[in-house]
Structure 1
Amino acid sequence: MRYDVSPFPLGDDFRKPAPETEIAIGKWIRKPAKCKFALGARWKGKPIVWVPKGRMPKHLWFVGDIHGDILALETIIQTVNKETPGASIVFLGDMFDRHPYGYEVVIRLLELMKEKPGRILWIAGNHDVSLKFENGMFYSDCTPSEFADFLNGRQDLQEFGKRLIHFMQGLPRALFLPGGLVCSHGGVPHTDVQDSLSGRRDLYRVKALNDFTWSRVHLRAPFKQVNRTVLGGELGSENVLAFFRKMSVILKYPVKYLVCGHQHPDDKGKGFKEVSGIPALILNSSFFSENMFSPSPWLIPCIARYKKNKLPEVFPLELKPEECTRFYGTSNQG
């Protein structure tokens, strides 16, 4: 099924947040401990790996990398509100950098969290947790890092930027859902971490948390060797399946699916990838193509809907290409 979102009144009024919204979010983020995530998770000031208890929401959606694409974010919000009012949404991280509206995306996401307590969950992406502030300057461990440059050019946002960094350090790194679904930005802990996994507490080790956020699942290779010289190492399909088996014993229910973001789309205009040999789904939810030679000037971004005991169901979002061009003033790259 595809959602044709062209009829939505996607005007220019959401390009820049209203001053009163910025003020309200600036106040709200000063007290992050009051933040109530979806699925019963709470902000605790440090990374968490969340295993919810109790009933699942009636409707639960997953959103991949947004990377500063405010048009995609607003399209997704309106689509979810129209199709499944009252739904919960899990964002899989990387909300800024690469494309023009990182600040606006962050404000809009925080506004959603403020207005819909208990219905939004933001899983940390590598760009999110890489933002730092030191010696009076913002910088990032990731490239590109346009959002840090933006904040450095806005002295009036320095306090907001520092509070945002503090908030993002306490975002969840992974989510384990009933029916065996693992949700993360990057992938799962590699085999050197798996060897010593004996309980949920072991998922809080630095290597495990980093792997949830930084690792990548190779689309075809069954095995990949551990490479700790970089944060973003690769996993093969058999490495992922080994983690599923280990966590099935620890959680006492079958763990067998993965949904994540992090990897950029291919040159076929699709906003999702499937992994050979395992039930894993990689989502991208931005309209922007990363490939200037792509046959499609814009991607078809995808979101996915939770299905118990199944891989999430993918829903492409179709917006007329001329709408993207009109909004961003370009026919391809941001």
Structure 2
Amino acid sequence: MEGLLDRAGGPGLLFDNDRAGPGDRAIQVKTVDAAVPLWIIGDLHGDLLALEAALAAIARETPGSGAERPRIVFLGDLFDDEGYGLEVLLRVFELILEGPERTCVIAGNHDEALSYDGIRFASSVSPADFADLLNAHLSHEWIERAGKAAVRFFATAPRALFFPDGLLVAHAGFPLADLHERLAESGNWNDLTCLSDFTWARAHPTARRKLPNRFSRGSQFGYQDFAAFCELSARLGRPVTHMVRGHDHVEERYAIPSAYRAHPVLTTVALSRRLPRETFGPRERVPTLARFVEHSAPQVHRMHIPTALIDAIYPEPSADGLAGEPGSLEARR
């Protein structure tokens, strides 16, 4: 992976050829071959079980070989919230090495927040247990190198993809209303505040409009805010009609709020368990992934993982607050 990142011209991932330049992180995709399957996997947060289930489902639903093998877009947030963040990161690195031209990883807010100052790792978001894990193993050369590779990788990873059929792909959102006038004048999609909104904004399921709060990176948007952005993007030569995102850990692990009928917004999350910061709902969840459908919202696929397997991989905390023994590496893989 280090060698791939060192390559002249970058690692050559899916859609990298569409970048306007090396620093372009809001990529206007020129063409998408609808005949070659394209799958979208949302937030994982260390959920190695859900990742392997998604890869198995993709292999089952879209068998193929060579140039026709399915392509995958990850919506970011590979780690934090306990689980197996390092294993998920390395598994995604494996997929990249097996076929860079078939894999795209969009940076999520947890991925973007990870940093390294030459001595220790840190994160600007909470929870930040992945940075804690890396710091606890600084004497382990390969773990430290994996963390540094992650920081390098996500520094240049895309924050948004604009597909030619009108689909916007991002971890979280889009440039919010207070940026529209400036964006209309400059046309600079790589403005740092725009990139931040792609990575941090949250969708309100019913509100018409939400006032952006620049004191918090997690400002919300409503359905009229998205409609206004769709109108602006068309004027700027990047027509957007619908969107797929992650970021919000909805209980059903997917949602298309009815308020967004005019411009559908699909949230898809690949989490088989309730995260520690999720207060309500069952421990075992039904993770989702989505398949690209041209001129339509992506098609949602639910992955019904056996409850016993979820409980074995992610044991419920005991009475003293400590989790039980995790499943074996063989079971996790």
**Matched residue SS, 1:196:** helix
C-alpha distance in structure 1 between counterparts of 2:8 and 2:104, whole Å: 14
Residue 33 of structure 2: aligned partner: 56
In the alignment, residue 177 of structure 1 is paired with which amino acid?
F
2:12 to 36, 51, 73: 36
C-alpha distance in structure 2 between counterparts of 1:320 and 1:259, whole Å: 27
1:260 to 245, 249, 258: 245
Change (3 A) 1:80 1:32: farther
Change (3 A) 1:318 1:36: same
**Matched residue SS, 1:144:** coil
Shift of 1:276: 3.6
Q: How many residues align?
A: 305
Shift of 1:128: 0.3
C-alpha distance in structure 2 between counterparts of 1:255 and 1:48, whole Å: 17
In the alignment, residue 11 of structure 2 is paired with which amino acid?
C
Residue 325 of structure 1: aligned partner: 311
Pair 1:203-2:180 in alignment? no
Residue 312 of structure 1: aligned partner: 298
Q: Deviations over 1:7-27 (max 9, x none)?
A: xxxxxxxxxxxxxxxxxx454
Q: Deviations over 1:128-161 (max 9, x none)?
A: 0100112611110010001100110112233332
Shift of 1:30: 4.5
C-alpha distance in structure 1 between counterparts of 2:215 and 2:33, whole Å: 39
In the alignment, residue 298 of structure 2 is paired with which amino acid?
P
Q: Is the CA contact 1:287–1:299 (under 8 Å) kept in the aligned structure 2? A: yes
C-alpha distance in structure 1 between counterparts of 2:224 and 2:216, whole Å: 21
Q: Is the CA contact 1:175–1:184 (under 8 Å) kept in the aligned structure 2? A: yes
Q: Deviations over 1:22-57 (max 9, x none)?
A: xxx454444484412223547876451111123425
In the alignment, residue 147 of structure 1 is paired with which amino acid?
F
In the alignment, residue 159 of structure 2 is paired with which amino acid?
R
Residue 77 of structure 2: aligned partner: 94
Change (3 A) 1:310 1:199: farther
Residue 94 of structure 2: aligned partner: 111
**Matched residue SS, 1:139:** strand
Q: Is the CA contact 1:93–1:185 (under 8 Å) kept in the aligned structure 2? A: yes
In the alignment, residue 99 of structure 2 is paired with which amino acid?
K
2:271 to 274, 281, 286: 286
Change (3 A) 1:45 1:110: farther
Q: Is the CA contact 1:237–1:276 (under 8 Å) kept in the aligned structure 2? A: no
Change (3 A) 1:330 1:32: farther
**Matched residue SS, 1:38:** coil
C-alpha distance in structure 2 between counterparts of 1:303 and 1:208, whole Å: 26
Q: Where does structure 2 lack aligned partners over 5 or more consecutive residues?
A: 64-68, 324-333
C-alpha distance in structure 1 between counterparts of 2:189 and 2:17, whole Å: 16
Shift of 1:264: 1.4
Q: Is the CA contact 2:168–2:243 (under 8 Å) kept in the aligned structure 1? A: yes
Pair 1:243-2:226 in alignment? no
Kindly report which structure 2 residues correspond to 1:119-268, keeping only aligned pairs within 5 A, or say none.
Answer: 119-134=102-117, 136-155=119-138, 156=141, 157-198=143-184, 201-251=187-237, 254-266=239-251
Q: Is the CA contact 1:303–1:314 (under 8 Å) kept in the aligned structure 2? A: yes
Shift of 1:199: 7.4
**Matched residue SS, 1:79:** helix
**Matched residue SS, 2:289:** strand
Q: Deviations over 1:158-207 (max 9, x none)?
A: 33322321211100000011221101001010111112223784111111
In the alignment, residue 51 of structure 1 is paired with which amino acid?
Q
2:257 to 275, 282, 300: 275
Shift of 1:250: 1.7
In the alignment, residue 275 of structure 1 is paired with which amino acid?
P
In the alignment, residue 189 of structure 2 is paired with which amino acid?
L
Pair 1:84-2:62 in alignment? yes
In the alignment, residue 28 of structure 2 is paired with which amino acid?
V
Moved more, 126-135 or 298-307: 126-135
What's the TM-score, normalizing by structure 2? 0.85
**Matched residue SS, 2:115:** strand
C-alpha distance in structure 1 between counterparts of 2:58 and 2:199, whole Å: 26
C-alpha distance in structure 1 between counterparts of 2:31 and 2:243, whole Å: 21
In the alignment, residue 49 of structure 1 is paired with which amino acid?
A
Task: Give the alignment's Cα RMSD to 1 decimal.
Answer: 2.3
Give percent identity, aligned residues only: 31
Change (3 A) 1:30 1:107: farther
What's the TM-score, normalizing by structure 1? 0.85
**Matched residue SS, 1:150:** helix
2:283 to 284, 297, 320: 297
Residue 68 of structure 1: aligned partner: 46
